[in-house]
Structure 1
């Protein structure tokens, strides 16, 4: 069985100014020292974390208690999703649901749509094959058996973005496309036998395994690169090096043309229910006609909780774009930054909503300012409850939940960049913190195709251990 949370777990890896009614009164920014306490400095010195280690910690009122380079802006990585969650809660509301609809351009007579049938995406980041199958079943239950016109796939509710960050490897499934019509977090399941035998691509879910025709894989007799990609007319054309396939296996690959993907899969599901549809036509022209049925997503609060837990990039970008109504990730990230300034009086430089872009910059003092302000805001107060319970890392890099210290936080990881931001409490002591570390020189030395640079894993492990020791010092 494949559930939505299974799909999410597989993804874990690494404008006009919006109105801000009800923004809190400004308070003077507390001075932040460049050097931390003697205890925290000693922890940093023996951590083995090269580059820059910056942090800020405050009490629940926002009074700064300790800081080190707290005004130094560093890549936030996925800790940026905490800001995205606040933004979406404020702009859309915790109860917001995304809808995916089937629209008929003409009446239904004798089971046949007199005209075109449209699959219309509303930006739902959680739509999976089971959801599409439910829509196909309901369409068949209404007595629809076919159309006289075309079958249209429309994702124009959001801009089409073929990948979140250009600096990632082409096969990174956490760097999928974005559209108003998304499916299975815009990933396709690739499986193969020994040496590349029995290659298949499908859109599997908990109930059914639809084959996919809009994505094609060709095994090539080479050793590198492992994958190549080329976009055809509505088709994702992949090649894979035979030398990399070994004895057989499987993995998820990103989908670069999500409207075509969703249309392809729905057509197969509809045929399975006795509804004959022609090949999908992808369009960005808005539909008109009668809504036959609508599939609704879970409420936004549940979507955000999963986003924070599994650090899903595609979800972050989709909800952020929905909140901003901007035409690109750059413009949308900037709009969110403007909202942060107006709402919380903090300054951030965000190039997207997921933190996948290494060009984004946030200072720990500014992140703490946002997290403190969120607790005084009706919408933002929900963030703490939506955050994941984080554990403490021992000296060997093994994580465990503490019996006495509770951490509700968001992690962030890029190569040679690590962050942890959130709330910590123990014995009545409450702390709001942001810890960001990055070795920018080593990041700059990486090539675009270097997904696992030498030394990065050890660096990240040391950064996580340091985060735990700092928090224990602050909430001891």
Structure 2
């Protein structure tokens, strides 16, 4: 999976230049390129005989569960071929392509999210005679560096003392304890959601061997800063399993980790369940580094009349969406999706309410009534989309040119997993992976230059239902099933390239 550090590095680089932002790991699974079946002869297109039907390919794939797909010519809109195109299956992270279109249509490509430092009362000399407020604006890319910049701006404004309270407001979006409650507590791809997020609502846990035990650290690191946090705490427990336990006590996230799972040392990112407290904790540290001492934070439900002291703007939405789709970041999808709903109809009650509004929007705008989403990331297994509905969205999106530039190029590979750089078929699409669920939605350019839209969904819901909550991160048989699904996807793509584009 994409490492947390590489993601944050890419994100920080994007803020300093117009280049693409990065994002923290992980939607539901690692991003992998499509893989073909082993074949005789030279690597390249033509690994699948065009005379083989889609049903035959599915039958020969050995993939359990259900497979459904649809493909169309984007120029004429003609649907060229379908297999159970009206079957409603989980879209997994392919749903993020829909969320991107929803956000662009509602918020606009140039939209930016703003995090503010506000003050009540008056400033006399270097003293603020009133309260200081950290106000979240729904920015899913806010990180520790940005809070450090805001603290520095406060110092540059001449503030050295805050006589009143330090308050934090996260009411721009509803608070959600976890994106998908069926996921294990410790997985970083299902953090809490609220109107303020920091470091994609993940805290860095690091451990090192120290004598007969371990020294542990919880921090909010970026490449530049590593402030320790007090709102997330870790205790090493003498046991083998479970590896992690979680409990919320006294306004803090309390974790334990099994000593037999630690080894000599290592690190991983854990989800944050109290985003506002996390952001406030780190901002207090950054303010203290600039000589400004703040009281313990107090959460507020509404914003009072206040003066703006400093602010931080996110990158423009189109750049954020490109990163969201490339790295399949769940938190970005949920926050951006709920922000779009907030603009359309007011603050949603939660993820399901917001996702239902996006589904209604898709039915109205694209005639795609067979879309039933329970979130904006595709992490929730109850979401359902048919290939025909997704194809309708893709065909319309291709006409406006809004989606394809944001999609990641998907490399086709030979039987040994090597990228075929000279492959005559080019694919730009959104992949999606859950346990025993695989999806692909986007566009391919055939050897003759024809552009096709495609949607492929595969799911073994029975196998998925047998997985316990504790096994959700790495279920037995899940990796092998996914490889078969990816292999079948490439076979279908190569077949369509030969039949409809040569």
CA-atom RMSD in angstroms: 1.6
Structure 2 residue 70 is the aligned partner of structure 1 residue 56: yes
| Cα deviation digits, residues 433-475 of structure 1 (max 9, x gap) | 0000001110111112212221110110111011111111112
1:189-208 superposed matches below 5 A:
189-194=204-209, 197-208=214-225
Task: Find the residue that maps to 1:46 and give its secondary structure.
Answer: helix
Is the deviation greater in 297-306 or in 274-283? 274-283
C-alpha separation in 2, matches of 1:398 and 1:90: 38
The residue aligned with 2:442 is: 422
The residue aligned with 1:183 is: 198
Task: Find the residue that maps to 1:173 and give its secondary structure.
Answer: coil
The residue aligned with 1:27 is: none
Equivalenced residues, count: 452
The residue aligned with 1:307 is: 324
1:392-407 superposed matches below 5 A:
392-396=412-416, 400-407=420-427
Structure 2 residue 243 is the aligned partner of structure 1 residue 220: no
Structure 2 residue 98 is the aligned partner of structure 1 residue 83: yes
| Cα deviation digits, residues 338-374 of structure 1 (max 9, x gap) | 0000000002000000000001000111100011011
Cα distance, 1:39 vs structure 2: 3.0
The residue aligned with 2:386 is: 363
Pick aligned residue for 1:466 from 488, 491, 497:
488
The residue aligned with 1:437 is: 458
The residue aligned with 2:338 is: 321
Task: Find the residue that maps to 2:365 and give its secondary structure.
Answer: helix
- On the 8 A contact 2:139/2:197 being kept in 1, the answer is yes
The residue aligned with 1:3 is: 9
Distance 1:400 1:145, change over 3 A: farther
- On the 8 A contact 1:74/1:362 being kept in 2, the answer is yes
| Cα deviation digits, residues 304-344 of structure 1 (max 9, x gap) | 00000000000000000000121210100100000000000
The residue aligned with 2:119 is: 104
The residue aligned with 1:410 is: 430
C-alpha separation in 1, matches of 2:213 and 2:338: 39
Structure 2, unpaired ranges of 5+: 13-21, 30-49, 343-347
C-alpha separation in 2, matches of 1:12 and 1:398: 24
Task: Find the residue that maps to 1:454 and give its secondary structure.
Answer: coil
Structure 2 residue 291 is the aligned partner of structure 1 residue 274: yes
C-alpha separation in 2, matches of 1:425 and 1:433: 11
C-alpha separation in 2, matches of 1:9 and 1:182: 13
C-alpha separation in 2, matches of 1:160 and 1:282: 13
Is the deviation greater in 191-200 or in 121-130? 191-200
The residue aligned with 2:276 is: 259
Distance 1:51 1:402, change over 3 A: farther
C-alpha separation in 2, matches of 1:396 and 1:163: 38
The residue aligned with 2:359 is: 337
Structure 2 residue 46 is the aligned partner of structure 1 residue 46: no
C-alpha separation in 1, matches of 2:421 and 2:254: 44
| Cα deviation digits, residues 13-71 of structure 1 (max 9, x gap) | 42xxxxxxxxxxxxxxxxxxxxx984322222221211101100001132111111111
Distance 1:180 1:458, change over 3 A: same
Task: Find the residue that maps to 1:256 and give its secondary structure.
Answer: coil
- On the 8 A contact 2:194/2:275 being kept in 1, the answer is yes
Pick aligned residue for 2:303 from 265, 270, 286:
286
Pick aligned residue for 1:385 from 384, 391, 405:
405
| Cα deviation digits, residues 169-225 of structure 1 (max 9, x gap) | 100100001111110000000000137511000001121111101110011101111
Task: Find the residue that maps to 2:385 and give its secondary structure.
Answer: coil
- On the 8 A contact 1:397/1:464 being kept in 2, the answer is no
Task: Find the residue that maps to 2:293 and give its secondary structure.
Answer: coil
